[in-house]
Structure 1
Amino acid sequence: MKKTRYIFCGLAVMAIMANAQDKKIKKADSKFTSYAYASAIRSYEELVKDGYAEEEIYKNLGNANYLNANYEEASSWYGKLFALKKADFDPEYIYRYAQTLKSLGKYNESDEWMQKFKVAKASDQRALVFDQNQNYLEQIEVRSGRYQLKNIGLNSKVSDFAPSFYEKELVFSTARDSGLITKNIHKWNNGSFLNLYKAVQDDQGNFTNVDRLSKKLNKKTHESSTAFTKDGQTMYFTRNNSVDGKFERDEAGVSRLKIYKATLVDGEWNNIEELPFNGDSYSVAHPTLNKEETKLYFASDMPGTKGESDIYVVEINKDNTFGTPKNLGPRINTEARETFPFVTDSDILYFSSDGHPGLGGLDVFATDLKNENGEVFNVGRPLNGEEDDFSYIIDVETGKGFFASNRKGGQGNDDIYSFVELKPLDFTCNITIAGIVTDEETRAPLSNVAINVFDNDSKKLSTIQSDENGAFTLETECKEGIFKIVASKNDYDEGESTFVIEKGGDVSDVEIKLTQVDKSAPLGTDLAKYLNIEPIYFDFDKYSIRDDARASIDKVLAYLSEFPKINIQVRSHTDSRANDQYNQLLSDNRAKATAEYLIEKGISSDRISFKGYGETTLTNSCDNAVPCSKDNHQLNRRSEFIVVE
């Protein structure tokens, strides 16, 4: 029963009637438009063998195979379609072709077609999500390796999927032979209609007593996707539109899906009634309940649906009536298929989608319903793969669960797999912001710059300092809107950068340029005091630069290098010992030695003058008439650096 789940996506395909008069083409088109895809595929393939190579045949063969999840075949026919090199193809064919390429592991080629899809339909949610997550394979890889899988023994040679927990049993949908004649063969894919089965799992994880859930529930229609209340007395399930228990189509040839409710009476499911928000012109399917059983989540293509099927929620009132269904919105729903929702007791929504970036076909995704701005995560390999992965359920306390897949190596078309979640998903959502801070004039990177991120309400979200290369990388909470980075550093004006973040997208290559503030010392300033450095002292009766003085002079040197327009005069002094003439000569030598040190270190001689003052400007009262200690005399043997221009 290949790919019956697509019926439960509420998928309606536009029928494109060929204009050719050939009876074979008309017959094939008739099968396609009546959703007899399996038969239509065979008829179209016969036409191709007869030499027909028309656009509509390739389109319909691509779509018929795509809707039966024959992705390799679909990819081949879509490839032939685009080889015709027409310019007016519906962008949806481009998207489907990109999806089929993923299922063949051709991710680079798929991404190239997604780029074409983005150009053709830039406002499409799928194009926007792809544009914001072009490193999606790397992101998926980070979340991969968290599951241990096992193909369980209850699977048949056809389709088995849509598992659900019911007390100690596992309830699931299956297309295994019901023993009925061809009336129960569905034209979509020539498979048996689906029935609900149950199985008991023993302590070793083996399934026994596999049998129909209920004879009253299983009719000549599809039954699938169950959800049970915790007391085990109420069940919600999916069924095709029917009359007197028989499969019924609408005027467009589609048998829509509806959610029904049943109650357990004396061990049998009775009181079967459809929910009030069902409709005859759209499908409603795949029910799941929240922990409090106050909300029912489901998939539908009802009016207001963004894509082929969306996830909805409806309130269950205390009197067992229902509110108005609400679409979960563009964070979750795209223009493609979002289906098979499952909500855990901690309000984590798992669902399948081929609209969010994935590995191919339907992938399982998860998001935290408590966080309106929360990210949608692909749960990664090995649970997701190149084919369809769907109908995920989990017991969060044990980390054990089930899902269905049509991956290679299974027993049937779709198999149910058990899994153990080795590591839960981290739903903490952060945005990564990376960039560099540079000097506006020199373009040199600036280190130790304080970086602060603010939201649109001027709330500080995060702070960090730039590294030695001027680079910074920081994380902040997932929020959409306008953000601002403010960078600040001593001797610079503040700089900032404003940007918009949509749907939790990371931001890179932010460059903030800071303008240096001219904080040069005013005329007449002694730089030794201005820079708060140790004084430049000399030994008694000497003018050589002492080792302890070099560190202070180097700071003056750095300042002069930073402010190239500053000119100084080195002024040197002596103590009062020795005669005035000798002290004048000694101070001249000290001033000259200090100036030469700066010149040797790279400061232009045009910027430095020097002068000795002998003992004429003592810093204390230690003149010739006053006896003083060596330490007090030392205070007068010094050099100063006076700003003169």
Structure 2
Amino acid sequence: MKIKILTLVLILSSSLSFTQTKLADKFFDNYGYLKAIELYEKVVEKGKADTHVLTRLGDAYYNNSNSEKAAYWYEKALSENKDVEAEYIYKYIQSLRSIGDYKKADIWFKKLSEAQQGDSRLKGYNPDDVSIFDKLTSKNEDRVVTLENLSFNSEKSDFGSFLHDNTLYFASARGDEKKVYNWNKEPFLDIFQLEVKQEENGMESYSSPIKLAGEDVNSIYHEASVAITNDGKTMYFTRDNVNDRNRLKYDKEGTTHLKIYTATLKGKEWTNVTELPFNDDVFSTGHPTLSPDNKTLFFVSDRDGGIGQTDIYSVKINDDGSYGEPKNLGDKINTEGREMFPFVAKDSTFYFSSDGHLNLGLLDIFKSNILKEEPTTPENLGAPFNSGYDDFAYFINSETQKGYISSNRPEGKGGDDIYSFNIEECNQQITGIAKEHRTEIILADVTVQLIDETGKIIEEVLTAEDGAYTFDVKCSKTYTILGTKPDYKEDKKTITTANEDKKVNTVDLVLQPLILDSQIIINPIFFDYDKSDIRTDAQYELENIVDVLRKHPEMIIKIESHTDSRGRDKYNLKLSDRRAKSTAKYIISRGIDANRIESARGYGETRLLNKCANGVKCSEEEHQVNRRSYFYIIDSEKK
């Protein structure tokens, strides 16, 4: 009897778990993720969870952007079943990236690469490039981005900004609390508007949001994602599929899809709502945006024939107001994941959000040149535009470099928040004082050149009376500062600017005088052992002698040359004499009159500068010190 009762309990328990799973599936399929989570977790508590339940739990949390919980359930599913579909592995990787666990994400990405070769979402990923996520999360090297959570955000979802004639349009769930959306238990979205005022300090202020003017656009269901024509007369927007009685329409599976509609501005109100002809009841069409000339409409759809879960399409708008055939933007933009929220700036740069291109987790914002030239791989905008959360709905005025993004990052006020941004170039200064070596006398009229990494002279200035100079430069760049003045050796300094806006870098220049007492002082003129040929490094130094002689046409010099102690004394005397005459010959070859060199004489090893006399063991460096030349001024106003 006990066995029969136990069997009956087990059957009832199994049946109840099956029923709860089916009910949870129903809520999941209708985007009621919070209720689905509750029911699935009840099944888990009873020990009846299979791979389907575990992956559905992961998906429910993933779709509600709870990456930590999503990663937990995906990991549980993967640990209990080796044959989990690749799609769940990818979502697990996305969840790991979102919470910053890039190391574990890389491990699973390698596994996915082995199992899913050809997946478009694997493009651009190099498992050996350990710095790739550091690059995406680090500050941009040549710009400063100011990101601000805006004052008008609510505790509900606010997203999808579009600015036209100082009016900002966006979607918000701050509506009727009595009717809520099953996905997130928030009110349905409506389109709101507010005025943006430009303050004298360059900042913007915002009026209180109000619902879109006109009763035709906002229904009791979802409206979002606005695009307005240049003349301000036509609005494109996304809405749930509703019938003439403002009730939801469903497909055979019981799912309501999205459609794009237009509205016309009459006076100050939007009216005459019209559905676009390429919508359908069996797939979604939404997130409209226009090309700068308003002749092309871009949108998102999950219609058949696409590449991934949702793709971005384009459709021509004809002069008579009709539409061409929608065209998929192809695999330069679309992946096997989700591409959403397209936007085209006035400069024709194409922006969109994706979880299929290499990202930080969930949706990231990308830009592409697909409308301007031969398309290249879309570029992830990186931090601070992107985070480990959903970052989307990019809007920018390409002239002012100001705009808006939407994100559900945790520091926000609601489910999704709108952030304004301002992009400025990251700039610094390089400044310094030119001084004379030893005496530290301030040097005016020093020519200071700013040279970039390619060797190009960007700017040239003269130091002021106080010896000062200043250059405005970019952040995270390497520059050479070259200071020159007649009768002085040049000074050259290299500096790499940091990634810190408005930083002032000090680079002082110290120039050595070429004329000191009765000598022209240059770095030693060295010769190879037992040779009198003028080496390239010696020629470089001798150019200083040439410059001084050109600057002072009355100057007459004499040259002395010396050897080390190696070799016979008489031979060294002759060798040094050859070296002195080779030095004189080079100077004359540079256009200096031979009469200005009174003599060029060698002294062999008779005037050594160190201990390295005959028989003393010395290094090559020590011997080289004694292989030198001197340049004495014997007649000049500079003597």
Q: Same fold (TM over 0.5)?
A: yes
Question: Do structure 1's residue 185 and structure 2's residue 183 form an aligned pair?
Answer: no
Map of 1:34 onto structure 2: 30
2: distance between equivalents of 1:371 and 1:175? 39
Structure 2 CA distance for partners of 1:127 and 1:336, relative to 1, 3 Å? same
- AA aligned opposite 2:41: E
Map of 1:235 onto structure 2: 235
2:396 to 394, 397, 408: 394
Question: Do structure 1's residue 80 and structure 2's residue 95 form an aligned pair?
Answer: no
- Mapping of residues 309-324 of structure 1, within 5 Å: 309-324=310-325
Map of 2:337 onto structure 1: 336
Map of 1:254 onto structure 2: 255
Structure 2 CA distance for partners of 1:202 and 1:133, relative to 1, 3 Å? farther
- Mapping of residues 504-519 of structure 1, within 5 Å: none
> How far is 1:388 from its partner?
0.7
Secondary structure of the 1:61 match is helix
Map of 1:272 onto structure 2: 273
Map of 1:407 onto structure 2: 409
Map of 1:347 onto structure 2: 348
> How far is 1:247 from its partner?
2.4
1: distance between equivalents of 2:116 and 2:71? 21
> How far is 1:197 from its partner?
0.3
- AA aligned opposite 1:177: G
Question: Do structure 1's residue 217 and structure 2's residue 212 form an aligned pair?
Answer: no
2: distance between equivalents of 1:285 and 1:292? 20
Asked if 1 retains the 8 angstrom alpha-carbon contact of 2:172 and 2:192, the reply is: yes
- AA aligned opposite 2:64: N
Residue by residue over 1:152-172, the C-alpha shift from the partner in whole angstroms, topping out at 9 and shown as x without a partner, is: 011000100011112111000
Map of 1:102 onto structure 2: 97
Secondary structure of the 1:232 match is coil
> How far is 1:203 from its partner?
2.7
2: distance between equivalents of 1:231 and 1:132? 49
- AA aligned opposite 1:331: K
Structure 2 CA distance for partners of 1:82 and 1:163, relative to 1, 3 Å? same
Residue by residue over 1:595-640, the C-alpha shift from the partner in whole angstroms, topping out at 9 and shown as x without a partner, is: xxxxxxxxxxxxxxxxxxxxxxxxxxxxxxxxxxxxxxxxxxxxxx
> How far is 1:128 from its partner?
3.0
- Mapping of residues 582-597 of structure 1, within 5 Å: none
2: distance between equivalents of 1:235 and 1:274? 12
Structure 2 CA distance for partners of 1:548 and 1:153, relative to 1, 3 Å? closer
2: distance between equivalents of 1:295 and 1:22? 49
Residue by residue over 1:396-437, the C-alpha shift from the partner in whole angstroms, topping out at 9 and shown as x without a partner, is: 11111001101111110110000001249xxxxxxxxxxxxx
Map of 1:634 onto structure 2: none
Secondary structure of the 1:282 match is coil
1: distance between equivalents of 2:380 and 2:123? 17
Map of 1:476 onto structure 2: none
2: distance between equivalents of 1:374 and 1:111? 25
Asked if 2 retains the 8 angstrom alpha-carbon contact of 1:20 and 1:26, the reply is: no
2: distance between equivalents of 1:50 and 1:251? 33
Secondary structure of the 2:207 match is strand
Question: Do structure 1's residue 90 and structure 2's residue 85 form an aligned pair?
Answer: yes
- Mapping of residues 120-269 of structure 1, within 5 Å: 120-131=115-126, 134=129, 136-140=132-136, 141=138, 143=140, 146-178=144-176, 181=178, 184-204=179-199, 205-214=204-213, 215-243=215-243, 244-269=245-270
Secondary structure of the 1:206 match is strand
Residue by residue over 1:461-518, the C-alpha shift from the partner in whole angstroms, topping out at 9 and shown as x without a partner, is: xxxxxxxxxxxxxxxxxxxxxxxxxxxxxxxxxxxxxxxxxxxxxxxxxxxxxxxxxx
Residue by residue over 1:298-320, the C-alpha shift from the partner in whole angstroms, topping out at 9 and shown as x without a partner, is: 11112221011111111111111
Asked if 2 retains the 8 angstrom alpha-carbon contact of 1:136 and 1:357, the reply is: no
- AA aligned opposite 2:93: A
Question: Do structure 1's residue 383 and structure 2's residue 385 form an aligned pair?
Answer: yes
Secondary structure of the 2:373 match is coil
- Mapping of residues 33-72 of structure 1, within 5 Å: 33-72=29-68
- AA aligned opposite 2:280: G
Asked if 2 retains the 8 angstrom alpha-carbon contact of 1:62 and 1:74, the reply is: yes
> How far is 1:21 from its partner?
6.1
- AA aligned opposite 1:157: E
- AA aligned opposite 2:156: V
2: distance between equivalents of 1:130 and 1:255? 36
Structure 2 CA distance for partners of 1:28 and 1:268, relative to 1, 3 Å? same
- AA aligned opposite 2:111: K
Structure 2 CA distance for partners of 1:136 and 1:330, relative to 1, 3 Å? farther
Measured on the aligned residues, the alpha-carbon RMSD in Å equals 2.4
Structure 2 CA distance for partners of 1:547 and 1:54, relative to 1, 3 Å? closer
> How far is 1:139 from its partner?
4.4
Q: Which moved more, 1:203-212 or 1:377-386?
A: 203-212
Asked if 1 retains the 8 angstrom alpha-carbon contact of 2:110 and 2:127, the reply is: no
Structure 2 CA distance for partners of 1:305 and 1:136, relative to 1, 3 Å? farther
2: distance between equivalents of 1:178 and 1:306? 37
Map of 2:435 onto structure 1: none
Secondary structure of the 1:422 match is strand
Secondary structure of the 2:321 match is coil
Q: Which structure 1 segments of 5+ residues have no match?
A: 1-17, 425-544, 552-645
Structure 2 CA distance for partners of 1:406 and 1:546, relative to 1, 3 Å? closer
Secondary structure of the 2:210 match is strand
> How far is 1:266 from its partner?
2.8
2: distance between equivalents of 1:349 and 1:423? 21
Structure 2 CA distance for partners of 1:549 and 1:105, relative to 1, 3 Å? closer
Structure 2 CA distance for partners of 1:90 and 1:546, relative to 1, 3 Å? closer
> How far is 1:246 from its partner?
2.1
2: distance between equivalents of 1:418 and 1:52? 47
1: distance between equivalents of 2:145 and 2:254? 41
2: distance between equivalents of 1:546 and 1:284? 85
Asked if 2 retains the 8 angstrom alpha-carbon contact of 1:35 and 1:253, the reply is: no
1: distance between equivalents of 2:226 and 2:343? 11
Structure 2 CA distance for partners of 1:234 and 1:46, relative to 1, 3 Å? same
> How far is 1:372 from its partner?
2.2
Scaled by the length of structure 1, what TM-score is found? 0.61
Asked if 1 retains the 8 angstrom alpha-carbon contact of 2:95 and 2:362, the reply is: yes
> How far is 1:148 from its partner?
0.8
> How far is 1:127 from its partner?
1.8
- Mapping of residues 416-455 of structure 1, within 5 Å: 416-423=418-425
Secondary structure of the 2:254 match is coil
Secondary structure of the 1:113 match is helix
Asked if 2 retains the 8 angstrom alpha-carbon contact of 1:197 and 1:210, the reply is: yes
- AA aligned opposite 1:276: P
Map of 1:281 onto structure 2: 282
> How far is 1:146 from its partner?
4.0
1: distance between equivalents of 2:170 and 2:210? 10
Map of 1:518 onto structure 2: none
Aligned length: 410
Secondary structure of the 1:176 match is coil
> How far is 1:353 from its partner?
0.5
2: distance between equivalents of 1:124 and 1:73? 26
Map of 1:366 onto structure 2: 367
> How far is 1:238 from its partner?
0.4
- Mapping of residues 6-21 of structure 1, within 5 Å: none
Asked if 1 retains the 8 angstrom alpha-carbon contact of 2:216 and 2:272, the reply is: no
- Mapping of residues 611-630 of structure 1, within 5 Å: none
Structure 2 CA distance for partners of 1:39 and 1:371, relative to 1, 3 Å? same
1: distance between equivalents of 2:128 and 2:198? 43
Structure 2 CA distance for partners of 1:373 and 1:28, relative to 1, 3 Å? closer
Asked if 1 retains the 8 angstrom alpha-carbon contact of 2:51 and 2:84, the reply is: no
- AA aligned opposite 2:407: S
